[in-house]
Structure 1
Amino acid sequence: MGTMEKECELIVSRKGGGSVIDRQPVFSKDGRILFVVWGPVIRSYSIQTGELIDSYEGLKSRAVGVVLNPDNSDHIVACSQTGELIEWNWRTAEQKRKLQLDLNYKNNKPKLIVNFYVARTIERKIKVFLVWGYEKEKNAIVDIFNFTTGKISKTNFGQCRVDSHSHSTAIGGSNTGICIAGIKQNELFVISSEDGHQMRQFLGGQRWFTCVACHPTEACVATGDNSGRLLIWRGFNPGSKPVYGVYHWHTLPVRDVRFSSAGTYVYTGGGEGVLVKWSLDASQQRSFLPRLPASIAHISLSSDNRCIGISTDDNAIQIIDPQFKHLSVVQHFTWGVRPVATAPGRPGPLFPARLTRDPRTQSLVLNGRTGHIQFFSVHSKTLLYNLDVTGQNYLTQERGEVIVNTEVIKVAFSSAGDWLATVEQRDDNEISPELRLKFWIYDSTKQTYSLNTAIELPHKSTVYALEFQPSAISNRLLAVTTGDDQKFRIWGLTENSSLYSKGVTWICESVGFYQNLPVGAVSFSTDSSLLAVAFGCCVTVWIPETNELQCSLTHTTNDKTISQVNFGQQDCVHLIVSASPCGIYVWNVITLSLMWMVPFKLSILAADPKSNLMAAVSAENELVIFRPNCPQPMFRKPALVDSEIVAAAFVPHTSYHTSLVSWQQTSQLYFLDSNQELLVLEEEVANKYIDSVALETVPSSLKLPQTPFSALIAEQTKSSVLDPLAETHLQLGIPGDKAIRELLKPPAHTMPPISLLCAPFLRALIVTKSRKEDGSMERNDDEMEAEDSGMETDDSETSVVKPVPPTKSDNKLDLQHKTPKVKSQKVALADIEAKLESILHENVNWSFALLPEKSSTETE
């Protein structure tokens, strides 16, 4: 065992996940790019394809929003929670300026920014409208800052306080200047930024405001409330009470409301997963976009009204047109934002299926949207696809009721990835619980998994563990499940030759139990010959083919239930690692003895499939990397992250990987935290070194902007004096290959007559001659190389000349004999060019003999 790795060598880095729906996305002025807030990073996506285009970094804390610069639509401005303002040119990703807003004008208490806007006032000056509040407070304050200096312009104008969420404020234009609208529970504030005039309106009864939006040109405000109503407010004049109209369709609270760019229509969305388009002049005239994947969080519109962005709770942004036709989707990581509800008043875990590795694609598999599992590639950082496991419609929530949907709680793959097993569950404590075990087979033609066997109630009401046999014995693959009926069941793959269906199916082959103890985790040995099952505080070892008990390993009867069991790998195959809330225990199945035990409040245990390493995560987020044959850890890092770690898994490297950290040589350990982000531990110094080396080796042509003009710039300028010791490649590739490919590229029925194609094709094979201003011919590269080498080139497609440096005594002799050789080569090249030129002027009517009679007639 080597020395334990130092903590300072590794840093936590985010590789995926994270929310793209916390803040409202923004369209570019031409409506072709969508800017999305992703933590402290701003990302740009293509509207047509939904693919990531660029990332804009520099903020030190999470961004609260992104807007377009009113003076330059090619610039975007983002603000962080701590008041850091950065402006980029989004076309070149160049950071134009960085500004720190002066938040300490009032006091030095920590302040957090909730939202911000950048707008041009009636005096044609750009101002920053900031919504901020103190930490651990539910109220926020609106202030105006100078966009150039970052100093306060107006403080607490109107003395209004608003709710501290992203939908609590809005800004809009009018004929008299900018107005700001804010909500606080059942209060609505409308404030003029020019004179500070404020109007307050109360909402009666048990209703309160949930979102607000301002008309782009008029003094009009739209609000949504918790009863599902849309209210349109007008008449904000001094001395008069505003009036409002009621538009009602939603049954759940309205989560966002947005005006069209001209203010003719209003869009609303909420928990029903339905986008509603209202006509401002007719409350009964509306259209719907139903059956969105999840509840609506934000609504965004482009300035030309050609694109609508709908942020849904599955961490996706649906891009549609005004006719509700789907254009694309921005989604790289899906989830159910809220913890899965297993019963009313009993929220379940955030990701009940945890993290599982797909051996076929080396991707991570975890819960996606409700009833689905997602395949996320950690190497390309893309979402491969979602698999609908339950095959059920998503049931939205109802007012005053908790609707429980069927959710996937367990996922397992066979060693080759040919088989997938899932467990889905629904229990609302009112009707009989639903529990299904499904086996899926991979369909190579469809490139996805197809359902093979579905088993109702494999256990009483829930399943605790699900695992496949690592390798089939006697050509029979097995799987094991444990449940709340204190039993484990072994499932086998058999041939089905019934009258109604033929093929392979899964059946229950045997059932095991031990002293009526509750059953928990399971683990197969590497060679599949043994099965370890945790019963209470005991670890039992069985032969899976015959379901025979071999031994029972118990350290103390007073210990708590074993929560984790895992066989070792490679040289630790004879060891079993078990864990309880009190500690980690390692057993030797050969000697049936306890090798070592350490106190550790384990929460997660993960094994590296390519080595004998294991990772243990405690309830306090302490990470320990160890080998089962030694109690001394290889690496330890306390307080890995501030959030809670809910799952962890090793993913092998797909290519050769070098790392200064020994335990990261074969695989990378990924964490999933309560913020729904994928995290890894990386080498900060090593990554910077690799990046710097990679940048130095990038050709200069790739560093230039990809424009037609940049393609004309030479990558480097060759000198007339060449290194005599350097290898020179006279020719690479097949001569005429490009011309032939261009000739065969168009479809046959669209090609012009052959007589028009022969001349350009032959001309493409001629070496172009370039002349100087004085009329003399320049030496091409081949002639220069042959001249410098003093050797004749051969006729092969690729020739490499290795010149021999001459001695001092032979210099004069070599110079005397070099000129005739070069002249002879020039003569040979001139003859070849003359022959090709003559071919170009020959009659090519012979080509018509190669064509069918019909084609020849039509051509003539």
Structure 2
Amino acid sequence: MITGGQSYVSAPPAFSADGNHLLVCTGRTVSVFSASTGMLMSELEGHEGYVTAVVVAPPPAASAAAAKLASYCWTAGLDGFLIYWDFAAGELVRKVPVGFPVHSMAIPNITRVSKGVDIYTPFAFVTVEDTSKPSNEKLRGQLRIYDLTKGRRVGSLLAETPKPEKIVASSSGEYLGITNKRKIHLWRIPTKDFKPDKIRKIKLKHTKNLNTLAFHPSERIVAGGDVTGRILIWRGFGNAKFCASDGAKSKLDEDKGDMRGNGDADTCTTWHWHSGGVKFLKFSTDGAYLFSGGMEGVIVVWQLDTGKRRYKPRLGSPLLSFVDSPDSSIACVSCMNNQVHLLKMPNMEVMKSIAGIKLPISSSNLGGCYRDVYGFDYSNKLVAVPTEDYSMQFYDLFENTEVSEVQVCERNFQPVDDITMYISLVSLSIDGNLMCTVDVKLPEEELGGFVTLKFWNQGSHAGQYFLSTVIYEPHSDSGISAIAFRPGKNMAVSSSFGGNFKVWIQSTLLQPSEKNQSGWRCQSVGSYKNKPMTAAAFSSDGSVLAVAAESVVTLWDPDNNALVGVIAEALSPITKLSFVGTSPFLMSLSQSSKPQVAVWNVPNLFMQWSYILFAEAACCSSSRSEFAVLALLSCPDGGTLEEQDGVILLFDAENPKPVSSWSVKKARGGSIAFLKGDSSLDANSEDMIDGDASLLVYLNGSHEYVIFDPRSTEELHIGKSARKNIQTEEPGPIGYAAIFGELPKLESKKDVPEIPFIPSERPWETIFSGSSHVLPPLTKLCPAFLASLLEKRPVANE
């Protein structure tokens, strides 16, 4: 079983203490990436729920143990556990049970004095969701403290909120804060001789709901960002309560202060540039600048003293979080399109990008006209998903990496703009050589909408396509319901809600001034009683074309465009047709208020069997007489996207009894497809097609996926992977090998014990090491050696 597609931006990542690695929460695992190459190095598997926070353990003062502690971290998850990891070795060290889903965590640098020596003592401040309370309870979020050394909870609740909030800690660990509607809750933590009863709290108020906050690294300054795009800077917060002596009780009420006033702060300054809500705030390590980001996809750098700003634009997606590295030369920003960009500071140049599968498109102005569409490349094991910037992302399902992006619509996309067009359909030929897309421009005030059909040819490698033909309004002013390619030939069919279907063929256009170009043209047009054509499919050999005229299945000869048969009606309009392998059966889906999954006997023109199922998707094997259906467990309108669970049913076309079934989560908006697998994944697989295993992929509504053998009895869990695209860092060549390459290895004729070779810290001492009969002469070796040490400068010709 292979899994992938997890979100890289569900929680802020964290840099290792040396800044060489980036730890990213990815589903139920934590992925460790190289900060220099952006490659995956290892994965930490141990949580049974989604990981919501990762915190690198702060090293103590400079000591021999600091380097060792630099490879340790704490993680929190919705499974209710805090886990301590040695991420360099990929080992789980210990678990601390919490008992409730943990949504955020902060671990201040707290020390205690033992025999005159400061000893680091970890205490975790976590926000949890109290699931023991009824769902309609107003205060389900709680802020708790856990002693990670003893593995137990200490102190009382610090706060109760309607939902768990994100905890932000200052770099010194002295202050913690959360946003709660129109308030910022701040706590002062005694970092030495810690006791829960010594924690003090204040509140700062605002007139709008707050999204995020950030602490200044050295001064008592806190910044807050609200939902309208404003940034508020409170200077000298906690003067009355935090600065009072430990034995004195402050008379200041934490709720005192007018809604727009300073409260327990010297001054409050407001900045405004963002047009939407502020998603993150972060002070620079020297405290001179403040970074902010939001829906515009722009990092704004504010000068704290003057309020002047500069920008890092064109990141292409709304921003979610910003994390800086301990060495100050690298930072990273997480984007809503499931990308993490590694930035070279201070110019914020994008060095590397860690790209996951793009997340589903969500926009209120699309309404009910948009439905998730996917294209599957059976041979190359790729999935094509549409993106918000009008592209198709090709994602390698086996390697869990992005292969390419194909820009379908050339338009300057701004993340804050309402979506005015979308990709409604995508179809790939079975060999992946051809692609067809349909993009729809939404009308403005019921004017200006149109449909575009585009054909694409594959480039030099899988996932690379170049545009071949553009056809505007291929079916007049009607929408396109389905596209299908004919196996073995450059032919395609498009069906329309306007009452007809068109057969397209690829032809070569000869132009005197240019090379031969291939284009697509309409060969024939068909219709049946002027009914809307709602689905289309070719048989496995391409000899029969099936087109659904609402609830009637019509059969056509694609070469002559002649009607050869009509099958009885289904319960409601058919939305999907597919031939079941090389068998004489045809599978159909009806996804209206009267749902139906039906199997038709094509030679005899009758229905073989049917079920009443709310089917979200279905797919057929290309060689066997079986197909799979992704069915919802409840009515599609019965809940939100996250609440729609489902089941995958595997059928043999002749038998209405399912062969196998699997329960799955987030079925609404998902899809399934058969893939051409590798027989080495399962040497005992019974489902072999031409030497390859036929595998099934399930892609859920959050674009997480699992690839499995449908003949296996293993349960499906999206979280653990059987194959990972993990790279290892290898030291570069030194000495002689750095200049001339590796010496040939000679086979020893005698059994001589090998002496281990340890590279010297001074590689120039070993540059002439090697057998004398294979070393180049000194007249050639010395100039090359000296040239490698000298700095080369261009010489201008006089």
Which category of TM-score, normalised to the shorter sequence, fits these structures? 0.7 to 0.9
Q: Which residue of 1 aligns with 2:152?
A: 151
Q: For residues 227 and 523 of structure 2, what CA distance do their matches in structure 1 show?
A: 54
Q: Which residue of 1 aligns with 2:519?
A: 505
Q: Which residue of 1 aligns with 2:9?
A: 21
Displacement after TM superposition at 1:506 (Å): 0.7
Q: For residues 105 and 738 of structure 2, what CA distance do their matches in structure 1 show?
A: 54
- The one-character-per-residue Cα deviations of 1:619-661 (angstroms, maximum 9, x if unpaired) are 2223221222333332234x33355352111111134554667
Change (3 A) 1:771 1:674: closer
Displacement after TM superposition at 1:504 (Å): 2.0
Amino acid at match of 2:554: T
Q: For residues 596 and 43 of structure 1, what CA distance do their matches in structure 2 show?
A: 47
Task: Trace 1:363-402 onto structure 2 (pairs within 5 A).
Answer: 363-397=382-416
Q: Which residue of 2 aligns with 1:35?
A: 23
Q: Which residue of 2 aligns with 1:448?
A: 464
Task: Give yes or no for the alignment of 1:565 onto 2:587.
Answer: no
Q: For residues 33 and 551 of structure 1, what CA distance do their matches in structure 2 show?
A: 63
- The one-character-per-residue Cα deviations of 1:488-545 (angstroms, maximum 9, x if unpaired) are 1111112323577652211122222211222111110122121000011100001112
Q: Which residue of 1 aligns with 2:705?
A: 678
Q: Which residue of 2 aligns with 1:591?
A: 604
Displacement after TM superposition at 1:479 (Å): 0.7
Amino acid at match of 1:348: Y
- The one-character-per-residue Cα deviations of 1:332-352 (angstroms, maximum 9, x if unpaired) are 32234x4255x4544733x3x
Aligned residue among 164, 175, 179 for 1:179: 175
Aligned residue among 171, 183, 189 for 1:193: 189
Q: Which residue of 2 aligns with 1:164?
A: 164
Task: Give yes or no for the alignment of 1:622 onto 2:647.
Answer: yes
Amino acid at match of 1:631: P
1:120 is paired with a residue of what secondary structure? Answer: coil
Does the 8 A contact of 2:316 with 2:414 survive in 1? no
Q: For residues 118 and 221 of structure 1, what CA distance do their matches in structure 2 show?
A: 19
- The one-character-per-residue Cα deviations of 1:797-817 (angstroms, maximum 9, x if unpaired) are xxxxxxxxxxxxxxxxxxxxx
Aligned residue among 100, 112, 118 for 2:97: 100
Unaligned runs of 5+ in 2: 60-68, 113-119, 191-197, 241-251, 253-262, 634-645, 755-770, 781-798
Change (3 A) 1:588 1:346: closer
Does the 8 A contact of 1:160 with 1:189 survive in 2? no
Q: Which residue of 2 aligns with 1:65?
A: 53
Q: For residues 511 and 697 of structure 2, what CA distance do their matches in structure 1 show?
A: 45
Unaligned runs of 5+ in 1: 1-12, 104-110, 695-703, 709-738, 747-759, 773-836, 848-860
Does the 8 A contact of 2:588 with 2:597 survive in 1? yes
Does the 8 A contact of 1:534 with 1:562 survive in 2? yes
Q: For residues 320 and 513 of structure 2, what CA distance do their matches in structure 1 show?
A: 48
Q: For residues 255 and 687 of structure 1, what CA distance do their matches in structure 2 show?
A: 35
Q: Which residue of 1 aligns with 2:291?
A: 267
Q: Which residue of 1 aligns with 2:425?
A: 410
Change (3 A) 1:358 1:263: farther
- The one-character-per-residue Cα deviations of 1:108-151 (angstroms, maximum 9, x if unpaired) are xxx43221111123645321111123244675232222121232
Q: Which residue of 1 aligns with 2:328?
A: 305
Task: Give yes or no for the alignment of 1:636 onto 2:661.
Answer: yes
Amino acid at match of 2:97: Q
Displacement after TM superposition at 1:394 (Å): 1.7
Higher Rg of the two aligned structures: 1
Does the 8 A contact of 1:532 with 1:565 survive in 2? yes
Q: For residues 217 and 81 of structure 1, what CA distance do their matches in structure 2 show?
A: 33
2:71 is paired with a residue of what secondary structure? Answer: strand
Does the 8 A contact of 1:310 with 1:319 survive in 2? yes
- The one-character-per-residue Cα deviations of 1:569-614 (angstroms, maximum 9, x if unpaired) are 22x1x22222324433322332223333344333322012232221
Q: For residues 479 and 769 of structure 1, what CA distance do their matches in structure 2 show?
A: 68
TM-score, structure 2 normalization: 0.78
Task: Give yes or no for the alignment of 1:423 onto 2:438.
Answer: yes
Q: Which residue of 1 aligns with 2:485?
A: 468
Q: Among the aligned pairs, what percent are the same residue? A: 22
Amino acid at match of 1:229: R
Change (3 A) 1:625 1:660: farther
Task: Trace 1:435-834 onto structure 2 (pairs within 5 A).
Answer: 435-444=451-460, 448-459=464-475, 460-472=477-489, 477-497=490-510, 502-555=516-569, 559-570=571-582, 572=583, 574-581=584-591, 582-620=595-633, 621-637=646-662, 639-641=663-665, 643-644=667-668, 646-656=670-680, 658=682, 662=686, 666-681=693-708, 683=712, 745=741
- The one-character-per-residue Cα deviations of 1:187-219 (angstroms, maximum 9, x if unpaired) are 122221233322222212xx2211111223332
- The one-character-per-residue Cα deviations of 1:147-193 (angstroms, maximum 9, x if unpaired) are 21232222123x46375343xx311156xx71112211111222212
Displacement after TM superposition at 1:369 (Å): 4.8
Q: For residues 597 and 388 of structure 1, what CA distance do their matches in structure 2 show?
A: 40
Displacement after TM superposition at 1:35 (Å): 0.2
Does the 8 A contact of 2:77 with 2:103 survive in 1? no
Q: Which residue of 1 aligns with 2:310?
A: 287
Q: Which moved more, 1:185-194 or 1:522-531?
A: 185-194
Change (3 A) 1:578 1:705: closer
Amino acid at match of 1:172: S
2:531 is paired with a residue of what secondary structure? Answer: coil
Does the 8 A contact of 1:26 with 1:300 survive in 2? yes
- The one-character-per-residue Cα deviations of 1:241-288 (angstroms, maximum 9, x if unpaired) are 31222222111110111122332221111000101112222211x221
Displacement after TM superposition at 1:74 (Å): 1.5
Q: For residues 317 and 163 of structure 1, what CA distance do their matches in structure 2 show?
A: 27
Does the 8 A contact of 1:132 with 1:142 survive in 2? yes
Q: Which residue of 2 aligns with 1:249?
A: 273
Q: Which moved more, 1:415-424 or 1:48-57?
A: 415-424
Displacement after TM superposition at 1:378 (Å): 2.0
Displacement after TM superposition at 1:436 (Å): 1.2
Q: Which residue of 2 aligns with 1:278?
A: 302
Does the 8 A contact of 1:355 with 1:647 survive in 2? no
Q: Which moved more, 1:523-532 or 1:653-662?
A: 653-662
Q: For residues 753 and 212 of structure 2, what CA distance do their matches in structure 1 show?
A: 73
Task: Give yes or no for the alignment of 1:333 onto 2:343.
Answer: no
Q: Which residue of 1 aligns with 2:74?
A: 77
Q: Which residue of 2 aligns with 1:433?
A: 449
Change (3 A) 1:451 1:85: same
Displacement after TM superposition at 1:416 (Å): 3.1
Bigger proportion of residues as helix: 1
Change (3 A) 1:297 1:461: farther
Amino acid at match of 1:258: K
